[in-house]
């Protein structure tokens, strides 16, 4: 065997091991879009709360008016659904471009690992709302989402682990400083997503 043949063999083995174990069709663009939706949602939520009351009565207005609460909940669900749909659409498009099947053993594993912390978090937040523990919602969103990203990062770009760690750190800060939930929410879901999306977009030249 010639030397460059051996090199070619080793690098093909390496790429195969990586391709078979990591799902790399995630699109950076979907991160940017999710960030923009989150900023839009936060802006709508902010307007909703602050237009209904003076900024001084913010807390009491928030807790006492179930109408506002449901509207906020609705905005959050719309942002979430829009982000998921965009992410799926862009990922499928990306995979097609590469001639890959989106539904393969790795993407299944990625999805399971993302969903376990995410669904746990969703239920936890729902329970918090039932008990009117509104103060922890924003930090719980960030922490569980961050943990989901960390657990999924084994099956895709490892850069996602850093995004996850930042989300968890922001979530803990949000828990430490109650009342600033929306600030951390905007930073975590809006700004971090856009930064991450831009980094991925240029790093992997999509």
Partner 1 sequence: MNISLEQFDKAFENRLRLQIMSVLVANERYDFNSLKELLQVTDGNLASHLKALEKEEYITIHKSFVGRKPNTQYAASAKGRDAFRKHLEALENLIKQQKQ
| Interface with partner 1, residue 47, by CB under 8 A | no
The span from the CA of 166 to the CA of 54, in Å, is 33
Q: How far apart are CA 199 and CA 205, in angstroms?
A: 10
Contact of 46 with 182, CB cutoff 8 Å: yes
| Site membership for partner 1, residue 85 (CB under 8 A) | no
Q: Which is nearer to partner 1, 61 or 104 (CB)?
A: 104
Distance between CA 193 and CA 35 in Å, rounded?
5
Phi-psi region of 65 (alpha: psi -120 to 50; beta: other; left: phi over 0): beta
Cα separation, 143 vs 192, in Å, equals 14
The alpha carbons of the chain give a radius of gyration, in whole angstroms, of 20
Out of 10, 81, 123, 176, point to the residue binding partner 1 (CB under 8 A).
10
- With binding defined as CB under 8 A, does residue 20 bind partner 1? yes
Q: CA neighbours within 13 Å on the CB side: how many for 162? A: 10
Among residues 21, 77, 81, 177, the one that binds partner 1 under rule CB under 8 A:
21
Q: Which of 11, 13, 85, 178 touches partner 1 (CB under 8 A)?
A: 13
- Nearest distance in Å: CB 200, partner 1: 23
Contacting residue, 52, 53, 104, 206, with partner 1 by CB under 8 A = 104
**8 binding partner 1? (CB under 8 A):** no
Contact between 1 and partner 1 (CB under 8 A)?
yes
In the complex with partner 1, the residue whose CB is nearer, 10 or 176, is 10
Residues in the site for partner 1, rule: CB under 8 A?
1, 3, 6-7, 9-10, 12-13, 16-21, 101, 104-106
């Amino acid at each position: 065997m010639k030397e460059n043949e051996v090199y070619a063999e080793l690098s093909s083995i390496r790429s195969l091991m990586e391709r078979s174990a990591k799902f790399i069709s995630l699109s950076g663009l979907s991160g940017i879009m999710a960030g923009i939706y989150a900023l839009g949602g936060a802006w709508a939520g902010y307007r909703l709360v602050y237009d209904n009351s003076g900024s001084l009565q913010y807390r009491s207005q928030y807790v006492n008016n179930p109408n506002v609460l449901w509207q906020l909940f609705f905005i959050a669900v719309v942002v979430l659904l829009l982000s998921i749909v965009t992410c799926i659409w862009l990922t499928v498009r990306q995979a097609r471009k590469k001639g890959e099947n989106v539904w393969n053993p790795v993407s299944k594993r990625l999805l399971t690992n993302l969903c376990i912390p995410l669904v746990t978090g969703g239920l936890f937040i729902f329970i918090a709302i039932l008990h009117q523990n509104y103060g922890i919602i924003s930090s719980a969103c960030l922490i569980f989402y961050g943990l989901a990203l960390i657990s999924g990062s084994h099956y895709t770009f490892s850069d996602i682990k850093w995004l996850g760690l930042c989300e968890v750190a922001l979530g803990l800060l949000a828990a430490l400083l109650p009342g600033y939930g929306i600030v951390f929410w905007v930073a975590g879901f809006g700004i971090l997503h856009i930064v991450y999306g831009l980094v991925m977009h240029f790093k992997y030249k999509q």
